[in-house]
């Protein structure tokens, strides 16, 4: 890959700019929600593939749960790449510009953005009882935050593409099987993921002509701390045949798909939707 000579790059829709380093030391990926679960597996997987990692999360230091960006540092850097831990709540849109600038200042480029950060409702409630507070909280993280972070990064990628032909950036949205399968006791989550699916399609349409491919990955029932509270419920449903492949998904199952995209194996699949759900997408009776 050729050197990208950087000038000033817009970091937001207001045309603010910052100076970009004129050298780089390898490809770089931003992974949001990197401190745990799917995001952690994705960050480690990309590091093994040779990407420098900017890990974004709400926790930098662990609270003895093992879920913190600092706990990842040795594992990431043992792959021979650099790691930049960045504390940010993705819902805090005012922080997006400075965090992206930190990535550029460290690595000089952004090759992959993985929009993975997401939350479930603090309490599952019937759709007839969904609260405004819960709706806003979930939407601000799962949809609004990802949309505006992608807007900033997209503009930087377009600027870089204009300066180097041998540069193939990619954007990945981690949505959910809930983007198309309703759960009436977590309406705000399902709507946020359905909206994120449309965001992926919109950016895919807009950016394909710029040489920037956008993808959507739809995980099914993945074994993480987010699903720990309903493990018994899903164990029974899986045993009863909910998932054709008959097992829980693992964070590494999602990470493998991200690595396939990063490798260029899906370069003629702009806008592709990839289910990682053990066959739940089949929709059998």
Q: Strand, helix or coil at 213? A: strand
Of 270, 220, 254, 259, nearest to 116 by C-alpha is 254
Catalytic residue among 189, 215, 234, 268: 189
d(CA 43, CA 57): 12
For residue 91, with 0-12 CB atoms within 10 Å meaning exposed, 13-18 middle and 19 or more buried, which class applies?
buried
C-alpha distances in Å from residue 183, one per residue of 177, 186, 189, 195, 242 = 10, 6, 9, 15, 14
Rounded (10°) CA dihedral 271, 165, 148, 178: 20
Smallest CA-to-CA distance from 254 within 27, 33, 37, 30 is with 37
Nearest C-alpha neighbor of 238 from the set 258, 220, 219: 220
In terms of DSSP H, where are the helices of the chain? Answer: 37-48, 73-77, 96-107, 132-139, 146-161, 187-208, 231-239, 251-262
Taking Cα atoms as reference points, which of 198, 169, 206 lies closest to residue 30? 169
Is 167 tagged catalytic? Answer: no
Contact 22, 184 (CB under 8 A): no
Give the single-character DSSP code of 86.
Answer: E
**What is the spatial distance between Cα 62 and Cα 2, in angstroms, rounded to a whole number?**
38
Q: Which residues are catalytic?
A: 189
């Amino acid at each position: 890959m050729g050197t990208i000579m950087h000038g000033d790059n817009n970091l937001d829709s207001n045309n603010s700019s910052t100076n970009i380093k004129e050298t780089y030391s390898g490809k770089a990926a931003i992974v949001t929600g990197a401190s745990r679960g799917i995001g952690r597996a994705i960050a480690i997987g990309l590091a093994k593939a040779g990407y420098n990692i900017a890990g974004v999360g709400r926790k930098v230091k662990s609270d003895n749960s093992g879920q913190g960006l600092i706990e990842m540092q040795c594992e990431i850097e043992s792959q021979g790449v650099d790691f930049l831990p960045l504390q940010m709540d993705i819902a805090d849109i005012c922080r997006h510009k400075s965090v992206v600038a930190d990535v550029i200042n460290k690595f000089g480029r952004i090759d992959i953005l993985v929009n993975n950060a997401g939350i479930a409702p603090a309490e599952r409630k019937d759709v007839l009882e969904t609260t405004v507070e819960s709706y806003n909280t979930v939407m601000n993280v799962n949809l609004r935050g990802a949309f505006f972070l992608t807007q900033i990064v997209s503009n930087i990628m377009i600027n870089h593409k204009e300066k180097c032909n041998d540069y193939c950036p990619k954007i990945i949205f981690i949505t959910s099987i809930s983007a198309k399968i309703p759960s009436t006791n977590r309406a705000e989550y399902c709507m946020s993921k359905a909206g994120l699916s449309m965001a992926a399609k919109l950016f895919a349409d807009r950016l394909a002509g710029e040489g920037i491919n956008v993808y959507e990955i739809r995980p099914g029932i993945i074994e993480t701390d987010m699903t720990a509270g309903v493990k018994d419920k899903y164990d029974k449903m899986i045993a009863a045949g909910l998932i054709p492949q008959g097992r829980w998904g693992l964070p590494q199952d999602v990470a493998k798909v991200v690595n396939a995209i990063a490798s260029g194996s899906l370069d003629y699949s702009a806008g592709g939707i990839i289910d990682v759900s053990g066959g739940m997408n089949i929709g059998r009776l």
